[in-house]
Chain A
Amino acid sequence: MLKTIIKREFLNNIINLRFMVGLVLCVIITVACIIILAHDYRQKIEDYYLRVNLKDEILSNYATRGRIIAMYPDQKPPERFRPLIIGISGDENVESFYDNPLPILFPPFDFLFIVTIIMSLLAILFSYDAITGEKQRGTLRLVISNSISRTKVLLGKFIGGTASLLIPFILSLLVGALYISMNPSIHWDGSAWAEFILLTAASVTFITLFYLLGLMISAFSRYSSTSILNCLFLWVLLILVIPNLCPYISAHLCPIPSIKETKRKVSEISIRSKAIAREYMRESVKRFRSHYGKLWSEFESMELGGIGSWYLGRKDAGPEHREAAHQRAAADPEFKAMMDAFREEFEKVQKEQLRLQGEPTKKIWNELKTKAALQTKLAKNLACISPFANFVYVARDLTGTGLRSMEYFVQVQREYYTQFDKYLDKQVQKAEKTDPTFTWKSFLDLSDRPRFVFKEEALKDKLIEVLPYWGILVLFNVVFFVAAFAGFMIYDVR
């Protein structure tokens, strides 16, 4: 009997106008979206390689110790799922005077949008009159008058209805997958396809959730017109209101210090520590002057060979002064001893200044980071009452296009920086040994530097992260089904 009900529900739906509309909408939009985003992906890849080459060119030709910090390679390749989902690390998040304002006014459109807005709406349209419609037509009374349990009727309606709803969706995804596999600029490996299958499964969980929401409302309504209004009311709340309000509510509940204020505090610490270092340096100069007398005056005429000029508030020495100091040191051991002692003194001051500045600065930034993380966590947890937010977390984290992938990228980047720092120190030491005139502005040969390679996070780790949110989606399904069941058990079919 269950089979008959499923078949009847399925056939009823597919000859209905809403099935045709859903099919057309789904296939056209999904395929158009994938084709356009795949083209966009190709452009992003080209842009990414251009940026990588540009950085390479800078590091190969203009690397100096002073400016190398600004040049750490931090290029994130476009997400491999970009033909489906636009990641949140796009241009719109770059703090630049020349940024494009349009993405802020018109957020981008992708597969996530299709599932969360279009498919959830379609699911409601398929189920809002599953019970009320039959009641109004009088067929529900006839069905129940036979020897069939209400549980079977409800289960049959759910299975048959979701099957007919998922046909357009799966069909459009298959066409999209075919396009992706045939596109020469998209190279998906086994793990990407596995993520794609998991994404499809998560989408199905989300779509059935909204089908069940419609079914539940229908089981508690007498008329289809009331049912659809209630469904759309809940849809608006769950999809459009709750998720968008949560970050703002959390910002009120858990405020964070202003970034500019934090920067100001950091800058104050830096100014204070530099002032102390300058004072110390001036004292050192006095000591050296009284100790070395004429030899020191000679060294001063060479602009101290460029050592500690910034701390002393002097202009940086030119190459001619550095060369002169180097030659003088090579010819006179006493001059060399003075120069080495002064360099040692300078390095001591530099270290002291970094110590004075480093710890408090780190503390301030950590405080901001902790508070921001707390605010984000609160917003994230608050938004979990909406299935929309749960699905967004699952889909984005699973495909490496969300907040977690950004955190993962930062972690990978940090590991690379540590490796690069070690390499850099070695290169600087080597250069200082071979060239005594070496300064922060001298060219550094970095041709054998370690290269930055970004590898996607392991699927297992991603899955562990998304399972709780996926679990909430399943829980929503169960709750809605149980509620629909309870409503239907006491439903007056007359």
Chain B
Amino acid sequence: MLKSIIRKEILNNLFSYKFSIIIILSTILILVSIFVMYGDYCLALDNYEILQQESEGTIAVIRPTPLSIFAKGLDENLCRSYGSGFGGQISVSSKQQSVNDLFKLFTTPDLLYVVKVILSLCAMLFAFDIICGEKEVGTLRQSLSNSLKRPILIFGKWVGGFISFILPFFIAVLLGTIFVTLSPMVEMSARNWAKLGLFLLSSVVYLAVFFSLGLLISCLTHHSSASLVFSLFVWAIFVFLIPNLGNILAHQLVRIPTVQQLELRLEKSSIRRDFEKHRIDKSQDSRIDNRIRAENEKFIDDYLNRLNRLVKVSRNITRMSPLTAFTLLATDAMGTGVAEERRLKRAILQHRDILRDWDDEKGDRPVFSYRRSSVKEVLGRGGLGNFLILILFNVLFFAGAYVIFLRYDVR
């Protein structure tokens, strides 16, 4: 019986107008996004080649990952050139796109954005009338008048509906991936394939959350018009409101000076150091250097402690929305996330210390080498937690839909 329901649901969806619209939308969007982001990746590669040739004063520069085509995240930040500034501070080069101001107004249209915003909406549109729609046309009553158990019906509807929704997504992603891998600029290692696999898996789980949520709302309402209104309301809250408002709220809970203030303090230290050095005996230079360095480190430590706390608080608040858990997991999986950024910064600071102690008489200048995290490392460093949060959302929404459907008035 379960098979028949799944089959009926898939066939029903395949012939519906909704399916045509969503397949057109997702295919166009995914292909255009991958094509545009591929061009962006080529630009980033060009920039990297130039940065790499520049060795004077450069501590580190890393190659952009081809996975940024799918989820750009912080890759533009990560791939800047890191150099040594005044007092051993790390200076960063400008981002390539910092000259086109319009990038500051709009969002990056990568696959991550398409999945987290647009396809999540499509998932809800697929599911919002799964139960109440059938009730309105009267087929739900007829189905349940047979010897069909409600758990089997709702499970069959979920599976059939979700398969028909996720199919166009996979076809479009497959086409996009073939285009990317066939292009000469992209080299996908086995590690990258594993990461892409994790990204796709988390995308499916994330979309399933919204599908289950749509099902839950459909079970809670008796008219598809009401279900649609509630679905859009809840979608706006989960996708836009909680992640954005949560960040602002976290800023209120953890007071942190702006990065401009920090940079200004460091600049002041540097100026003061030069000023004082010029006015006293040269033998005192190292004493001044050490004192100023200790002061700077104190500022920076205090700032970084606050920043870490802010990131933690913000992450905890915003993870009330599946979008945050998915964004963090997806960007970390692709090596363009917050965890990767921290890891890279730690490596750069360590390398700076090595360079500080390096004596050119002892041998060649140490070269900075960095490898982005593997899937195992990503899962170990909070990725698994985010994945479990997505599963939990799924279980919660589906269980809610199941319980409500058991008592649903089908008349």
**Bound: A250/B29 CA distance, A:** 18
Nearest CB in chain A to that of B244: its residue: A109
Q: Which of A51-103 contact B (CB under 8 A)?
A: 51, 54-55, 57-58, 61-62, 64, 66-67, 70-71, 88, 91, 93-103
**Interchain CB contact (< 8 A) of B233 among A25, A99, A441:** A25
Q: Does A358 contact B (CB under 8 A)?
A: no
Question: What mask results when residues 97 to 113 of chain A are scored 1 for a CB within 8 Å of chain B, else 0?
Answer: 11111111111110001
**Interchain CB contact (< 8 A) of B100 among A25, A125, A263, A376:** A376
Question: Which of A235-243, A342-350, A479-487 is the interface stretch?
Answer: A235-243
Q: Does A21 contact B (CB under 8 A)?
A: yes
Question: What mask results when residues 350 to 363 of chain B are scored 1 for a CB within 8 Å of chain A, else 0?
Answer: 00000000000000
The answer to whether A32 and B245 have CB atoms under 8 Å apart is yes
Nearest CB in chain A to that of B341: its residue: A101
Q: Which residues of B contact A40 (CB under 8 A)?
A: 248, 251-252
Q: Does A121 contact B (CB under 8 A)?
A: yes
The verdict on A106 contacting B243 (CB below 8 Å), with A62-B271, A88-B105, A259-B99 known, is yes
Question: What mask results when residues 21 to 54 of chain A are scored 1 for a CB within 8 Å of chain B, else 0?
Answer: 1000100010011001101100110010011001
Q: Which residues of A contact B278 (CB under 8 A)?
A: 64, 319, 441
Question: Which of A167-175, A176-184, A226-234 is the interface stretch?
Answer: A226-234
The answer to whether B236 and A233 have CB atoms under 8 Å apart is no
Closest chain-B Cβ to A273's Cβ sits at a distance in Å of: 17
Question: Which of B146-154, B171-179, B189-197, B253-261 is the interface stretch?
Answer: B253-261
The answer to whether A264 and B268 have CB atoms under 8 Å apart is no
**Bound: A379/B255 CA distance, A:** 37
The answer to whether B264 and A51 have CB atoms under 8 Å apart is yes
Nearest CB in chain A to that of B315: its residue: A102
Closest chain-B Cβ to A330's Cβ sits at a distance in Å of: 22
**Bound: A263/B81 CA distance, A:** 12
Q: Does A272 contact B (CB under 8 A)?
A: no
The answer to whether B257 and A232 have CB atoms under 8 Å apart is no
Number of interface residues of B (CB under 8 A): 108
The answer to whether B233 and A260 have CB atoms under 8 Å apart is no
The verdict on A402 contacting B303 (CB below 8 Å), with A256-B99, A258-B47 known, is no
Q: Which residues of A contact B98 (CB under 8 A)?
A: 93, 95, 259
Nearest CB in chain A to that of B265: its residue: A54
Q: Which residues of B contact A230 (CB under 8 A)?
A: 21
Q: Does B40 contact A (CB under 8 A)?
A: yes
The answer to whether B263 and A96 have CB atoms under 8 Å apart is yes
Most chain A C-beta atoms within 10 Å of own C-beta, residue among B32, B36, B278:
B278
Closest chain-A Cβ to B341's Cβ sits at a distance in Å of: 5
The answer to whether B54 and A236 have CB atoms under 8 Å apart is no
**Interchain CB contact (< 8 A) of B50 among A255, A258, A379, A380:** A258
The answer to whether B77 and A104 have CB atoms under 8 Å apart is yes
Q: Does A478 contact B (CB under 8 A)?
A: no
The answer to whether B99 and A117 have CB atoms under 8 Å apart is no
The answer to whether B248 and A37 have CB atoms under 8 Å apart is yes
Nearest CB in chain B to that of A407: its residue: B101
Nearest CB in chain A to that of B278: its residue: A441
Q: Which residues of A contact B109 (CB under 8 A)?
A: 241, 244-245, 248
Nearest CB in chain A to that of B277: its residue: A441
The answer to whether B21 and A233 have CB atoms under 8 Å apart is yes
**Bound: A245/B241 CA distance, A:** 23
The answer to whether B100 and A95 have CB atoms under 8 Å apart is no
Q: Does A252 contact B (CB under 8 A)?
A: yes
Q: Does A411 contact B (CB under 8 A)?
A: no
**Interchain CB contact (< 8 A) of A251 among B17, B94, B100, B258:** B100
Nearest CB in chain A to that of B42: its residue: A252
The answer to whether B77 and A101 have CB atoms under 8 Å apart is yes
The answer to whether A96 and B262 have CB atoms under 8 Å apart is yes
Q: Does B187 contact A (CB under 8 A)?
A: no
**Bound: A246/B107 CA distance, A:** 10
Q: Does B338 contact A (CB under 8 A)?
A: yes
Q: Which of B238-293 contact A (CB under 8 A)?
A: 240-241, 243-249, 251-252, 255-265, 267-268, 271-272, 274-275, 278-279, 282
Q: Which of B92-115 contact A (CB under 8 A)?
A: 92-109, 113
Closest chain-A Cβ to B181's Cβ sits at a distance in Å of: 21
The answer to whether B236 and A25 have CB atoms under 8 Å apart is yes
**Bound: A66/B246 CA distance, A:** 45
List the 10 shortest-distance A-B pairs measured between CB atoms, nearest first: A109-B244, A372-B99, A97-B90, A244-B109, A379-B102, A62-B275, A441-B278, A88-B104, A247-B102, A248-B36
Using a CB–CB cutoff of 8 Å, the interface residues on chain B facing chain A are: 17-18, 21, 24-25, 29, 32, 36-37, 39-40, 43, 46-47, 50-51, 53-54, 73-74, 77, 80-82, 89-109, 113, 117-118, 121, 125, 129, 224-226, 228-230, 232-233, 236, 240-241, 243-249, 251-252, 255-265, 267-268, 271-272, 274-275, 278-279, 282, 300, 303-304, 307, 310-311, 314, 318, 324, 327-328, 331, 337-338, 341, 345, 348
Using a CB–CB cutoff of 8 Å, the interface residues on chain A facing chain B are: 17-18, 21, 25, 29, 32-33, 36-37, 39-40, 43-44, 47, 50-51, 54-55, 57-58, 61-62, 64, 66-67, 70-71, 88, 91, 93-109, 113, 117-118, 121, 125, 129, 224-226, 228-230, 232-233, 236, 240-241, 243-252, 255-256, 258-261, 263-264, 318-319, 368-369, 372, 375-376, 379-380, 383, 389, 392, 396, 402-403, 406, 441, 443
Extra contacts besides A62-B272, A106-B247, A379-B102 (13): CB < 8 Å: A36-B249, A50-B261, A58-B272, A62-B271, A70-B267, A95-B95, A101-B311, A121-B236, A233-B21, A245-B109, A248-B40, A259-B94, A376-B100
